[in-house]
Structure 1
Amino acid sequence: MNLPRNQISAGLLIACSMWLSALPAHAEAQYQLEKVVELSRHGIRPPTSGNRKEIEAATQRPWTIWTTHDGELTGHGYAAVVNKGRWEGDHYRQLGLLTSDCPQAQEVYVRASPLQRTRATAQALVDGAFPGCGVTVHHVAGEDDPLFQTEAFPATDTDPAQQLAAVTATTGNLVARQQALQPAVQALKSAVCQPGSDCSVFDKPWQIKQSKSGKTYVQGLSVLASMVETLRLGWSENLPADQLAWGNITHSTQITAVLPLLTANYDLSNDVLYTAKKRGSILLNEMIQGVEQGVSPVSDAVPYARWLLFVAHDTNIAMVRTLMGFTWTLPGYTRGNIPPGSSLVFERWRDKQSGERWLHVYFQAQSLDDLRHLQSVNQAHPLLREEWRAPDCRVTEVGTLCPMASTLAKFGQQLDPTAITPISYAP
């Protein structure tokens, strides 16, 4: 488990969050980077068509039409991901994981969720890391991949009755939760509601509901969270002021102020342990097998690559991190927030003196303003980062390293074997 936050000094937290710079030569003498498994969220997009319909109905007014179709990666979002990919490619070349400008055989394997925004994000990542190299982005045919769209497959979908019971138990006192979040609710209402219009959704009591398909959600909170996500994406897209909350949001701190509603929605949806076990076990299992590859025998057909990159959705990251017992609070964001283009990373390091294997596990993202301004990732504008920590980890020059065997055992404790089915990969 993570150490209690109050046991972590502010200086260490900042150092870990902002850790980016090229490592000194003496650090590389003891530790060698052997493997990276990364789970990335797609980049900036407009609201999905379903989100647009619900937020417009709730606020009784049309929201901005973006330059791309609803739900698809924007040009700005592509460029922001290229910036991240460029830094990652350079970083892993410096560390010796990658050997040349274009990847050699078995250096990189990329699998994306089949939706446009994830496939385009994967392309942006490899275009940034390996410009002009024509790296293949793998994805399944159709719209449903068993790794990512887990609600579409019987083995990984949730039982409606069990999910409802799990959400209800997690929620506890919903009235108290709604009351505690009133500062964020009122800030959001001021930003998006037209004076004199019907915005009663902001004042109605929240209720746990279940759709005909069996999806459980908190009525009232879920639509507010969709508004917040749309505003956060709009800020990151650098929409003109009059197209972002009708000129009512002009500073990133106003986005930060409403983000607690997103955290609350995660807490009562994809972060519910029962949901995560059913729908996240298959992906976390692939990540564990990927990072073990070449060291421990594995039964699945995970493709061999020094850098195994999965490009998916915030829901996938949320369920995986819940199984891991890992969360984070990056500067400018709220607890557990998963910004566009952010990623959860497993790095496997070998101690060249002892031969022991260690894991460096962290979550990383660009800041709200760096995304907005398409800021290149560099020492002045590093990726924000928070590391996984446990009592048996050690702080080193390459980051906080944790014993591989015990750390992966902890990550695997919550896996549901019945929700893990074989995955096929294209060569």
Structure 2
Amino acid sequence: MATLPISGRPLARAASRWLVLIAMILPVFPAQADMPLQLERVVLLYRHGVRTPLPGEIQLDEVSGKPWPTWRQAPSELTPHGAAGARLMGQYDRQRLAAAGLFSVHGCPTPSQLSFWANTDQRTIASAQALAQGFAPGCPIQVGHLPQGSEDPLFHPMEAGATAWNAHDAVTSILASTGEPDALTEPHADALQFMMTVMGCDQRHHPDWCEPSHWHGTLAAPTSSERMTLSGPIATTSGTAESILMAYAEGFPNRAVGWGRIKPGQLESLSQLHALLFDLYARPDYMAERTASVLSHRILGVLQDEQAPRLNVFVGSDNNIVALASVLHLHFKMPSYAQDDPPIGGALGIELWREPGGSQRYVRVFYQAQSLPQLRALSHSPPATVSLLPPACVSNKNGLCRFADILPLLQRAEARAR
């Protein structure tokens, strides 16, 4: 596997700074609380780091013709800045898990102790490689993946034919649970209005899509198609807003981020528009259970296999994270992002804990992510970490959930896999 160049001396200095910061902010591990517990395994589902815009992602242009910022890399690729952010997250994971006693602070873990598996896009493979380099600098850690550009059923089960689904059934189910797309956008008219301001809508430049009377959308499955078709403001603003967020996280000058019309505190409004797409394509039960079907099967295998690696890292995309969170009936809100919008380069995690000498197992579900300002500055301060308790769980005095409580949720999604 190709590796990205990394400097050992700066990393050593950074590691010591992070270790001090982690010691200051980390919550008490359950093993240190009233009931002694032992951390056995960890699953991290990461979203890739900062990338260039995807083909077709930008659906709106600045109304007066001002150009979008120019990226140096090809479309859809992880940037060097994105790789640096991922290395910081890998470094944080190493120090945090070392503090929990799962790994040593330094040195190369054995191949049996950890596993990295990425989706087949360049951005996910390169993100996994950067995470591995941050976790164990200079160590020969292999990142597993299928051939680049192929459909990995772990991340794309519907496209790979690994789960049965039908576009018409999907639309019927989604509309039954969410209503028409307008029902999702109506509570966020302020975010749409802000987006129009960012795009330059004014009295002189005012195409139809600038006007609220045109903010109507539909979700359908044409008779001749096996795909769903979405029209309206969610379709046009979600990817457009995400491209602006990526430019901010990449570190473009303020004048190039939304043409200088955005203050950092307003980024959450754009994040809200990006998140609305998942309320249709990833969060409804029909979509969530199918999107997370093969992944749920793999996670169950890891959590139930006594010989599984201590750390299991999967690197995919935002829809994978939203689908798994939905399977667990979880919502999340991370700093600088809107509700249920997966942060760039962040991870949904599951830890497995056990009473020493006992058979009862517990899990802690959490989200960890750098804020957009942290990612923009490549800050060495630790990311935010938020513990999430699935509604099916009755937490113990350590704030953990019995593994048996989330088992049926993962099994329900797993059953959708062929």
Normalised by the size of structure 2, how large is the TM-score?
0.85
Residue in 1 that maps onto 2:5: none
Are 2:217 and 1:206 equivalent residues in the alignment?
yes
Residue in 1 that maps onto 2:12: none
Residue in 2 that maps onto 1:65: 70
Distance change (3 Å), C-alpha of 1:395 and 1:237: farther
Residue in 2 that maps onto 1:415: 413
Q: Kindly, what percent of the aligned residue pairs are identical?
A: 26
Structure 1, unpaired ranges of 5+: 1-17, 295-302, 422-427
Equivalent residues in 2 for 1:171-210, closer than 5 Å: 171-172=178-179, 174-193=181-200, 195=202, 196-197=204-205, 199-203=207-211, 204=214, 205-210=216-221
Are 2:147 and 1:141 equivalent residues in the alignment?
yes
CA–CA distance in structure 1, aligned partners of residues 34 and 311 of structure 2: 18
CA–CA distance in structure 1, aligned partners of residues 164 and 357 of structure 2: 46
Are 2:216 and 1:219 equivalent residues in the alignment?
no
What secondary structure does 1:394 align onto?
A: coil
Equivalent in 275, 288, 299 of residue 287 of structure 2: 275
RMSD between aligned alpha carbons? 2.5
Residue in 2 that maps onto 1:111: 117
Question: Does the 8 A contact of 1:80 with 1:371 survive in 2?
Answer: yes
Equivalent in 167, 185, 194 of residue 160 of structure 1: 167
Residue in 1 that maps onto 2:15: none
CA–CA distance in structure 1, aligned partners of residues 316 and 205 of structure 2: 37
Q: Which structure would you say has the larger RCO, counting Cα contacts within 8 Å and 6 or more residues apart?
A: 1
The one-character-per-residue Cα deviations of 1:300-339 (angstroms, maximum 9, x if unpaired) are xxx8311111110111111111111111112332211101
CA–CA distance in structure 2, aligned partners of residues 255 and 183 of structure 1: 13
What secondary structure does 2:387 align onto?
A: strand
What secondary structure does 1:30 align onto?
A: coil
CA–CA distance in structure 2, aligned partners of residues 23 and 163 of structure 1: 41
CA–CA distance in structure 1, aligned partners of residues 171 and 65 of structure 2: 30
Distance change (3 Å), C-alpha of 1:57 and 1:277: farther
Residue in 1 that maps onto 2:366: 362
What code does the residue aligned with 1:96 have? G
Are 2:396 and 1:394 equivalent residues in the alignment?
yes
CA–CA distance in structure 2, aligned partners of residues 105 and 176 of structure 1: 49
Equivalent residues in 2 for 1:216-365, closer than 5 Å: 216-249=229-262, 251-294=263-306, 304-352=308-356, 354-365=358-369
CA deviation after TM superposition for structure 1 residue 27, in Å: 4.2
Residue in 1 that maps onto 2:3: none
CA deviation after TM superposition for structure 1 residue 21, in Å: 5.1
CA–CA distance in structure 1, aligned partners of residues 390 and 295 of structure 2: 21
Residue in 2 that maps onto 1:299: none
Distance change (3 Å), C-alpha of 1:81 and 1:120: same
Distance change (3 Å), C-alpha of 1:141 and 1:286: same
CA deviation after TM superposition for structure 1 residue 213, in Å: 4.3
Matched residue pairs, number? 386
What secondary structure does 2:352 align onto?
A: strand
Residue in 2 that maps onto 1:297: none
Residue in 2 that maps onto 1:3: none
Question: Does the 8 A contact of 1:232 with 1:255 survive in 2?
Answer: yes
Residue in 2 that maps onto 1:131: 137
Distance change (3 Å), C-alpha of 1:275 and 1:24: closer
The one-character-per-residue Cα deviations of 1:20-67 (angstroms, maximum 9, x if unpaired) are 357598449811111011111000112101213x33498865421212
CA deviation after TM superposition for structure 1 residue 173, in Å: 5.0
CA–CA distance in structure 2, aligned partners of residues 28 and 108 of structure 1: 29
What secondary structure does 2:124 align onto?
A: helix
CA–CA distance in structure 2, aligned partners of residues 247 and 306 of structure 1: 45
CA–CA distance in structure 2, aligned partners of residues 208 and 116 of structure 1: 30
What code does the residue aligned with 2:260 have? G
CA deviation after TM superposition for structure 1 residue 117, in Å: 0.3
CA–CA distance in structure 2, aligned partners of residues 60 and 278 of structure 1: 41
Question: Does the 8 A contact of 2:164 with 2:417 survive in 1?
Answer: no
Distance change (3 Å), C-alpha of 1:351 and 1:338: same
Question: Does the 8 A contact of 2:31 with 2:37 survive in 1?
Answer: no
Question: Does the 8 A contact of 2:296 with 2:414 survive in 1?
Answer: no
CA deviation after TM superposition for structure 1 residue 289, in Å: 1.6
Distance change (3 Å), C-alpha of 1:233 and 1:22: farther
CA–CA distance in structure 2, aligned partners of residues 58 and 146 of structure 1: 40
Residue in 2 that maps onto 1:87: 92
Distance change (3 Å), C-alpha of 1:256 and 1:244: same
CA deviation after TM superposition for structure 1 residue 357, in Å: 1.4
Question: Does the 8 A contact of 2:46 with 2:317 survive in 1?
Answer: yes
Question: Does the 8 A contact of 1:217 with 1:268 survive in 2?
Answer: no
Structure 2, unpaired ranges of 5+: 1-23
What secondary structure does 1:51 align onto?
A: coil
CA deviation after TM superposition for structure 1 residue 198, in Å: 5.1
Distance change (3 Å), C-alpha of 1:289 and 1:19: farther
CA–CA distance in structure 2, aligned partners of residues 109 and 25 of structure 1: 24
Distance change (3 Å), C-alpha of 1:59 and 1:43: farther
